[in-house]
């Protein structure tokens, strides 16, 4: 049964505040481009995160990866950093990076990628609202 690649998914959520703002632009330009997302007192989202890991099934376990291990990985490396935080003010990752959904997904990918064997593919899907979501890599 070698070369049987399967995708496994772990779905979780976190709550965080952010403000989209480009410090190189005027207040007017930021307001025009980012609208309500640029309000000076920040705003929050209930993010839904889906982590997809694709790889071959281990013949000894029947797993691609142990989902408990994947859950713990996400908990310790993503949720503890971002849940109930102001992404702009409380996290190193977004001190100088606009915390758009796109950038959040890329940051989460980069955090988790280093913990997975290179034989696994990783994809991040992040819902900012139930209608708006991003995937990385595309």
pLDDT at residue 3, as a whole number: 74
Active-site residues, by number, are: 37, 84, 128
pLDDT at residue 2, as a whole number: 59
pLDDT at residue 59, as a whole number: 94
Cα 91 from Cα 120, distance rounded (Å): 28
- C-beta neighbour count of 24 within 10 angstroms: 7
Q: pLDDT tens for residues 40-83?
A: 999 999 999 999 999 999 999 999 999 999 999 999 999 999 99
pTM, to two decimals = 0.96
Mean pLDDT of the chain: 96
- What is the arithmetic mean of pLDDT over 96-111? 98
Q: Which residues contact 59 (CB under 8 A, 6 or more apart)?
A: 1
- What is the arithmetic mean of pLDDT over 74-97? 98
Among residues 131, 124, 20, 132, which one has the least CA distance to residue 78? 124
- What is the arithmetic mean of pLDDT over 9-22? 98
pLDDT at residue 4, as a whole number: 87
Q: pLDDT tens for residues 107-121?
A: 999 999 999 999 999
Cα 15 from Cα 128, distance rounded (Å): 10
Q: Which residues contact 107 (CB under 8 A, 6 or more apart)?
A: 93, 94, 97
Judged against a pLDDT cut of 70, whether residue 20 lies above it is answered with yes
Percent of residues, the chain, with pLDDT higher than 70: 99
Cα 74 from Cα 51, distance rounded (Å): 9
Cα 78 from Cα 94, distance rounded (Å): 13
Among residues 70, 82, 86, which one has the least CA distance to residue 11? 70
Judged against a pLDDT cut of 80, whether residue 39 lies above it is answered with yes
User: Which DSSP letter does residue 23 get?
Assistant: T
- What is the arithmetic mean of pLDDT over 9-30? 97
């Amino acid at each position: 049964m070698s070369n049987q690649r399967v995708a496994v998914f772990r779905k979780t959520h976190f709550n965080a505040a952010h403000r989209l703002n480009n410090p190189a632009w005027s207040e007017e330009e930021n307001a025009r481009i980012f609208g309500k997302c640029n309000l000076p007192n920040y705003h929050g989202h209930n993010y839904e995160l889906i982590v997809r890991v694709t790889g071959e099934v281990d013949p000894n376990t029947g797993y691609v990866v142990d989902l408990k291990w994947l859950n713990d990985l996400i908990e310790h490396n993503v949720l503890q950093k971002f849940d109930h935080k102001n992404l702009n003010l409380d996290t190193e990752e977004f001190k100088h990076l606009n915390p758009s959904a796109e950038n959040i997904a890329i940051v989460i990918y980069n955090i988790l990628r280093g913990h997975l064997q290179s034989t696994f593919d990783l994809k991040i899907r992040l819902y900012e609202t139930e209608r708006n979501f991003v995937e990385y890599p595309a």
